Amino acid sequence: MSNLTPIGIIAAKDMRDALQDRFILIVTGFLGLAAAVALATGAIALRGDLATYAAAKATLLSIGKSVAAIKAPEFYPLRLLRGAIEQIEIIGAAIAILIGYRAAASERGRQTLALILTRPLRNWQFVAGKMLAGFALLAVGLAVVLAGLALLLHLTSGVGLGGNDLLRIGLVWAVALIYTTCFFLLGFVLTLHMRQPSHALLAGFAVWLLLVLIAPQIGDTLDPDNQVAGGVFAQLHIAKPDQTEIMKRFANFESLRNGIEAGSVTKHFERFSFAILGIKPIYTGMAITPILTEMFGNLVWIFLTALGLASLALVLPLNPNRLAKA
Average pLDDT for consecutive 10-residue bins of the chain (326 residues)?
69 86 84 84 67 67 65 72 91 94 77 60 85 94 92 75 92 97 96 89 95 77 48 59 62 59 87 94 91 96 96 86 60
> 122 — phi, psi (to 5°)?
-70, 145
Q: How many CA atoms lie within 13 A of 275 on its CB side?
A: 19
CA distance 169 to 321: 45
pLDDT of 322: 61
Cα separation, 201 vs 98, in Å, equals 8
Query: Residue 227 phi/psi, 5° resolution?
Result: -85, -10
For 25-72, give the DSSP string.
Answer: HHHHHHHHHHHHHHHHHHHHHHHHHHHHHHHHHHHHHHTT--GGGSPP
Q: What pLDDT does residue 202 have? A: 95
Domain count, the chain: 1
- Per-residue pLDDT, 263: 77
Nearest to 145 by CA among 44, 270, 34: 34
Distance (Å, whole) CA 29 – CA 95: 11
DSSP code, position 264: -
DSSP type of residue 283: G
Give pLDDT, residue 162: 86
Q: What's the confidence (pLDDT) of residue 305?
A: 96
> What is the pLDDT at residue 110?
60
Q: Report pLDDT digits (tens) over 267-325.
A: 999 999 999 999 888 898 899 999 999 999 999 999 999 999 999 999 998 776 666 55
Q: Any idea what the Cα angle at residue 309 is, between residues 307 and 313, rounded to 5°?
A: 115
Position 24 scores a pLDDT of 82
Whether 60 contacts 237, CB under 8 Å: no
Q: Residue 238: give the domain boundaries.
A: 4-323
User: What's residue 130's pLDDT?
Assistant: 92
Q: Give the dihedral sign, CA 160/165/170/175.
A: negative
Q: What local confidence, expressed as pLDDT, does residue 257 receive?
A: 60
